Amino acid sequence: MLYIHTVLVFAMSLPVLALSEPSSCGDLRLAREITLLSAQMNIANFRLLKLINEFDIRGGWRSGGAMRSCAHWLAANCGMAIGAAREKVRVARRLAKLPEVEKAFSSGDLSYSKVRAISRVATDSNEGFLVMMAEQTSASDLLQSLGLAEKRLALEINREIVPRSTFDQHLIRTGDTVEIVHAIGGG
């Protein structure tokens, strides 16, 4: 219960708009509500990953003796698929070693999708650059910075497939959900 209270207090540090019915407000207000809620969700996701990392470090998932890993505990207790749970644990562990990413994520400036992508390739020397690129960049620039520009891939932003021909024009902004799927070979 304490964790839920902390998350709510932490997430409420951003202003909250109360809409009675989305269809009754103008586009500008609706857009503002969406971006504020996205930032609050980013902050909540940051807090979730911090809690997961601490739980993993402490081995809290071992109590009862039936779980094989923190990811298995998340899958069993938080309704996550095991693959998604493993990825949450991986990103949580990595985030602890990326202070610039952590700072931008904790303030709501980066989405989980961007943090997840950055956590795969960030080093001490490129972390700041990747954060700056992720805060507002084109899809093409993001893929270039991640070393994926020449790969065969599909890019989805906010659940919409982005045609490769429009990567240069499509800006990725804070709150966007970015999914990159690329072929790695095999048969």
pLDDT tens profile 86-128: 999 999 999 999 999 999 999 888 889 889 989 999 999 999 8
pTM of the model: 0.65
Q: Is 102 within a domain?
A: no
Number of folded domains that form the chain: 2
Tell which residue, 152, 175, 144, has the closest CA to residue 38.
Answer: 175
* Per-residue pLDDT tens over the stretch 151-179: 788 888 888 888 888 887 777 776 677 88
Q: Determine, yes or no, domain membership for 106.
A: no
Domain that holds residue 83: 1-96
* Residue 10 predicted with pLDDT over 70: no
**End-of-domain residue from the set 96, 131, 165:** 96
In 3D, which of 49, 48, 50, 41 has the Cα closest to residue 174? Answer: 41
Comparing 181 with 103, the larger pLDDT belongs to 103
The verdict on residue 105 lying in a domain is no
Is residue 89 domain-shared with residue 122, that is, in the same domain? no
State the number of CA atoms in the 13 A half-sphere of 40 facing the CB.
Answer: 17
Together in a domain, 31 and 69: yes
